[in-house]
């Protein structure tokens, strides 16, 4: 499956390794040029350097029709925006993103993100089990 990963630095690095090892084709989009060069050298692949909130950058990354688009940007609003663009403009089959504010999970999913994950929400739920 073709999977796109936008933002996330170290998380994107880790996921890229796992996904490639599992046989997936991975398109990575990062804003920091030095980090793009690091990922490109580490995984011997092309990495798109630019702001994933820009339509032309997503087009350059070749995400059209990807099976899964992962948004790992630091701002919730940016993750919503890129997931919506991936799905509506680039026909991504599924989208998933990280959200910092647990209240955004239900909102994002009601707005078309297939799966929104809140690390804080997961940890709070885990703490409630004890």
pLDDT band of residue 128 (cuts 50, 70, 90) is confident
pLDDT band of residue 121 (cuts 50, 70, 90) is very high
- Structure-block tokens of residue 37: 């060069």
CB atoms within 10 A of CB 62: 15
Q: What are phi and psi of 96, to 5 degrees?
A: -145, 150
For residues 17 and 41, give the distance between their C-alpha atoms in angstroms, rounded to a whole number. Answer: 12
Residue spans per domain, the chain:
2-128
Please give the DSSP secondary-structure letter assigned to residue 94: E
Q: Which residue has the higher pLDDT, 127 or 18?
A: 18
pLDDT value, residue 76? 98
Domain covering 2-128 in this structure, CATH number: 3.40.50.720
pLDDT value, residue 130? 56
CA distances in angstroms from 24 to 2, 9, 32, listed in the order given: 6, 19, 24
Task: Reduce the DSSP state of residue 18 to 3 states and report it.
Answer: helix
């Amino acid at each position: 499956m073709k999977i796109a990963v936008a933002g996330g630095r170290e998380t994107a690095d880790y996921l890229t390794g796992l996904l490639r090892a599992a046989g997936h084709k991975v398109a990575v989009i990062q804003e920091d040029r030095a980090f793009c060069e690091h990922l490109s050298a580490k995984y011997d692949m092309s990495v798109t350097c630019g702001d994933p909130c820009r339509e032309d950058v997503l087009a350059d990354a070749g995400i059209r029709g990807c099976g899964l688009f992962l948004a790992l940007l630091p701002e919730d609003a940016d993750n919503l925006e890129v997931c919506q663009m991936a799905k509506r403009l680039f026909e991504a089959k599924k989208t998933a993103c990280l959200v910092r504010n647990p209240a955004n999970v239900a909102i994002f999913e009601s707005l078309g993100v297939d799966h929104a994950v809140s690390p804080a929400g997961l940890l709070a739920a885990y703490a409630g089990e004890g």
